[in-house]
Amino acid sequence: MKLLQSLLLSVFFSLSALAHHYEAGDLHIGHPWSRETPPNAQTAAAYLTIDNRGQQDDRLLSAETPAAARVELHEHVHKDGLMSMQQVAEVRIPAGEEVKFAPNGLHLMLFSPSKHYQDGERFPLTLQFARAGKVEVEVVVQKNASPAKGHEHEHHEHEH
């Protein structure tokens, strides 16, 4: 019985750790995550959701982390039947709406990661918003491509 209780508690806390979120004023930032990176990876990507529960728009202006040399805001664009990635200066977070950063869409591009990140590891990420200011979050690294339960998105591998 104790073994079963221990196992259930372990699963509960593991899922709780993956389903983390942050509040900053009217913004609710849900489940920052990244895929496990292969050895010698030159880039990585971080994903999350930002729900603006307020009456005014906000804008994500930049991000930084000690886990990489630099972070850029990127989006995927479909043009002439091809998908390409491009840097954007900022991301608008409309009042009353949720913006999803997900594979094949908006994402935070991390250049020159400081190490090979493995499943279960975490790293800090600072998001800079026009209205909400600086928000510190923790990114959970996941081996598989699917985020925690309740944060399902369509996922596809892509190169950077």
The reply to whether 147 falls in a domain is no
Domain of 63, in residue numbers? 2-142
Alpha-helical (H) ranges within 73-124 are: none
- CB 141: neighbour CB atoms within 10 A? 20
Q: How many residues does the chain have?
A: 160
CA 106 to the chain's CA centroid: 10
- Per the CB < 8 A criterion, the answer to whether 142 and 11 are in contact is no
- Count of domains forming the chain: 1
Residue 24 covered by a domain:
yes
Say whether 8 sits in a helix, a strand or coil: helix
Question: CA geometry: angle at 17 spanning 125 and 3, to 5°?
Answer: 155
Q: What CATH code is carried by the domain that includes residue 78?
A: 2.60.40.1890
Token pair recorded at residue 81: 């039947």
Phi/psi for 7 (5° steps) reads -65, -45
How far apart CA 64 and CA 10 sit, in angstroms, is 32
Question: Which pLDDT tens digits describe the chain residue by residue (160 residues)?
Answer: 554 454 444 444 444 444 589 999 999 999 999 999 888 899 999 999 999 999 999 999 999 999 999 999 999 888 888 888 999 999 999 999 999 999 999 999 999 999 999 999 999 999 999 999 999 999 999 987 655 444 443 333 334 4
Segment holding 11, helix H or strand E: helix 2-18
Q: Give the global pTM.
A: 0.79
Q: Would you say residue 32 lies in a domain?
A: yes
User: Could you tell me if residue 82 is inside a domain?
Assistant: yes
Q: Is residue 74 part of a domain?
A: yes
CA angle 94/82/105 to nearest 5° reads: 30
d(CA 143, CA 120): 8
